[in-house]
Amino acid sequence: MPTRATLPYQHYVNRVFWFLRVPQLLSTCVAFSLVADMGILRGDIGNWFMSFWCICFIVTLFIVIIELNDLQPCFPFYWYNFPVTFACYAALICLSASIICSVTYVQFLPYGPEWDRAVTATAFSCIASVLYAIEMAGMWNFYKLKEIPCYLHTVPSLLNVPETFVAGVIFAFLSNTSLYLHQPALVWCVAVYTICFISEAVTILLNLGKWEDRLPIPFSICQLVLTVFSVLLYISALVLWPLYQFYEELGGLPQRSSDVSCVDGLMCTWDQRLAVAVLTAINLLVYVAELGYWAHRVSIETEDQPGDS
């Protein structure tokens, strides 16, 4: 069993560094620089995903510095869980950025320098996504082969990761504050996304640090209560967001053609409203699946409890 002061894959650090980490740094840096050079044409969505590439670059550089200088024991959690979890998120982030860049910019920008930058940034983002996916898969299989307990090997992690990732994409679309500031019900929806995201982030940190047993109540019961709360919140958002965004009597726009910003083919305000509605429904389904898992887990623990006493 590895400890905070040991790494089960220390002899792979240099190999991973040269074959994965350096290309990851280069790919995210190039994608970030090209989109930054597009100026005002990148828009709010471009700014958000540019920040995503920047975060991937910074965190990857941070991991490189820590591992090459053997600073892992300085952290109060099991370090070996952190790089593989980050690689999972980075792969999803870069993949989503590639898709949205291709849909938003490559498809509609006129041929020219800006189009070339968008195409190149999309290509490097795809390369970064593949590199992060390779790192995640390699570490996943290595830990499983060596029977090393890893957070990503658990069912909750397979649900927590998409929940927080989808919420992050929702926040990217919500960078356009004109979507919700005019209506208190829509501000409530934004509060729902924020509350649920923070609770999931705290859960992930507790798992990475192996701090679940420090809670005053059993972790499974705590998770069940939080998941029920999140499901109820997301149900309210799934009702209110489409109602106030697409119902004409409440000030919404039922059709894309009624949005004056949808004239140049680029992703317009109406598209962003629809994207948030769809992502809300997707996240609600994931939360319902997590609710089923924790309900089953708590029921099993409750049945086993009398036998233990």
Written as one string, the DSSP assignment of 258-272 is G-TTTTSSS--HHHH
pLDDT digits (tens, 9 = 90+) for 82-107: 888 889 899 999 998 888 877 777 66
pTM confidence score? 0.80
Confidence of residue 288 (pLDDT cuts 50, 70, 90): very high
pLDDT digits (tens, 9 = 90+) for 204-232: 888 877 777 777 888 888 999 999 999 99
| Alpha-carbon dihedral 279, 282, 287, 289, rounded to 10 degrees | -170
CA-based nearest residue to 246, from 266, 283, 267, 275 = 275
CA-based nearest residue to 167, from 140, 202, 197 = 197
